[in-house]
Amino acid sequence: MSFFLECCCQNATDARRAEASGASRIELCEQLPLDGLTPTDENILDTLAAVRIPVNVLVRCRAGSFVYSREEVDTMAHDIERICQLTVVAPDGDVRHVNAVVVGALTPEGDVDCEAMRQLIGAAGTLPVTFHRAFDVCHHPLQAYDDIASLGIARLLTSGHAPSAVEGCGLLAELVKKSQHGAGPVILAGGGIRPHNIAPLAAATAATEFHSSCLEGWGEIN
């Protein structure tokens, strides 16, 4: 069985390893121990030039909660606008650019901050947007899913509102079903995804896309 795998990487070296091991897409960020921060422009350009598979870029201006001030939302919107304009001519002569941006914002009450998200989505222009695992700390996941769907977001990265996707497989299955029967975002299952558990998780949830920070060991399952 073949799976669509997105690998979380911190630089071009990571991205090359992930691509060589069978990854279908890269999510680029920095400071993974802080759950990821916006990478530098230089890092983005180096990574775009290093791989042939699509590169999505996380935009997160600081560590900590996903409740942002107006100034922080403005900063991330400006970062997105700049990142969307980055292009690089790769060694093979292809002109490459960022494939999508990955963002997420919540209100102090734990709901999706739709006002902030509309600003960030607007900054992305025609690029698709993934809502990241801020979803997994929202207070009402099914309402949050509906809010995310109403915003026209392309993908939702989630562990099923649990510490890991295996533990959250029940909600993941429900979200996948909602996505498949409506116009909602594609469910990107993440959180502890490894070569040994991806097949049973796919069977349990019907998810078709998976996200992992494990860079190697995927070749035998693709």
Residue of higher predicted confidence among 222 and 3: 3
The pLDDT of residue 172 is 97
The pLDDT of residue 221 is 59
Give the DSSP letter of residue 108. Answer: T
pLDDT digits (tens, 9 = 90+) for 16-51: 999 999 999 999 999 999 999 999 999 999 999 999
Does the pLDDT of residue 168 top 70, yes or no?
Answer: yes
Q: 122: domain range? A: 4-221
pLDDT digits (tens, 9 = 90+) for 184-209: 899 999 999 999 999 999 999 999 99
The pLDDT of residue 222 is 54
Does the pLDDT of residue 3 top 90, yes or no?
Answer: no
Sign of the alpha-carbon torsion through 123, 12, 157, 173 = positive
Paired residues of 56 in beta bridges: 27, 100
Q: What is the CATH number of the domain that holds 45?
A: 3.20.20.380
Mean pLDDT value across the chain: 94
Q: How far is CA 176 from CA 106, 157, 158, 203, in A?
A: 22, 11, 11, 12
Q: How far apart are CA 90 and CA 69, in angstroms?
A: 37
Tally the domains of the chain. Answer: 1
